[in-house]
Every structure is written in structure tokens, then in C-alpha cells.
Amino acid sequence: MSKRNIVIEPDPILRKKSEPLEEVNNDLRKLMDEMLETMYEAPGIGLAAVQVGILKRLIVIDVSKDKEKKDPLFLINPEITFKSNKTSTYEEGCLSLPGHFAEVERPAECHLNFVDYNGNKKDIKANGLLATCIQHEIDHLDGILFIDHISKLKRDMIIKKLKKSKKELDKVIL
Ligand code: ZN
């Protein structure tokens, strides 16, 4: 299994809308396995396909705290069917915006339809960290980043810093 490279903001692909998947086959399962490995190694708790440069509606998530008991969730073509009025706030980060965090308020509970790793239709009710993670990752599929939920001032500041660190990174790769 090979690890994938994670796309870092600012990059135009992160602003594109991802397309639904037509079928679940072995190629797709290989991609899901590689995305999961990439996420664990990063480390992170969620990764959308667009973050490895693939514009498909596909997400991997694992919010389990225990490293010994992995509990991966594969979401293909996820669709939120309910969002609660009650909200919760988490300090969010993102593998595509390394080193940056901000408080984001989102619905505390959401219900979701999706297709799983084996191609079966599923639905789940999520709350707490999982609900926030699902909404963060589905945002990615629509070209939305967590910084779009905060003030423009703070957003611009983060993008400026990321641009600067990307340039510095280029300088050392000679
Ligand atoms: Zn993210």
C-alpha cells in the first residue's frame, strides 16, 4: 500500500466540487485503504479524496481515541439528511492547513446517508466529534474549508501564512 500526498492550501483543487462515485470496486477500495493509511500517518481523524487530489465524493474518518482499536468509517457519496438546531463548537484543524486551528460552530447532531466500503447503503446518526468531523469532511467535497466559517480577517491571515510556508518549503527542495 502506498501513501498519498496531501494537497496543502492554497491550491485551486481544494475549492472544486467533487463528483459522485458510480460504483464500489477493488480500485476504489485500494484508494480508500491508501487514504486511510495516509490519514493515520499524518496523523488526522478525517480525510476527503480531494485532499489527495481526487475530485470524488469519498471520505475516510476515524475518531476513535484508542490507537490500538481502530474504528475506520468509509463514506462514499455521503448526504446529510438532518442537521440539529443545537450547535457545538470545536477547535478545528485540517491536514490541508497544517499548523492552523480555529473555533468553528456547527450543528451538534447530523444524520447521514452513504454507501460503505462494501457498496452497501447505510445511514447513521452522529453527534459530538463525529458530527463535526463528518460536516468538515463533507464541506471538502463542496470546495469549502473550515476557514470559510471564520472571519475574513482571520482567514486571510491563515492563507497568507500558508503561502509563505509553502514558498519556504519550495526553497529547501532544490
Ligand atoms: Zn480538512
pLDDT mean by block of 10 residues, the chain; 174 residues: 89 98 97 96 96 98 85 97 98 96 97 98 97 98 98 96 86 62
Q: What is the CATH number of the domain that holds 21?
A: 3.90.45.10
Q: How far is the CA of 132 from the centre of ligand 1 (A)?
A: 11
For residue 174, tell me if it sits in a domain: no
Confidence at residue 11, expressed as pLDDT on a 0 to 100 scale: 96
Q: Ligand 1 mean position to 145 CA, how many Å? A: 7
* Separation in Å, CA 115 to CA 23, 71, 73, 74: 10, 17, 11, 8
Dihedral pair phi/psi, residue 38, rounded to 5°: -60, -40
Residue 4 covered by a domain: no
- What is the structure's pLDDT at 174? 57
> How many residues are present in the chain?
174
The answer to whether 137 is a known catalytic residue is yes
Separation CA 103–CA 95 (nearest Å): 16
DSSP E strands in the chain: the ranges are: 46-48, 58-61, 73-83, 87-92, 102-107, 109-115, 121-127
Query: Which of 9, 92, 109, 137 is the catalytic position?
Result: 137
Distance in Å, CA 138 to ligand 1 centroid? 9
Q: Which domain holds residue 79?
A: 12-168
99 falls within a domain? yes
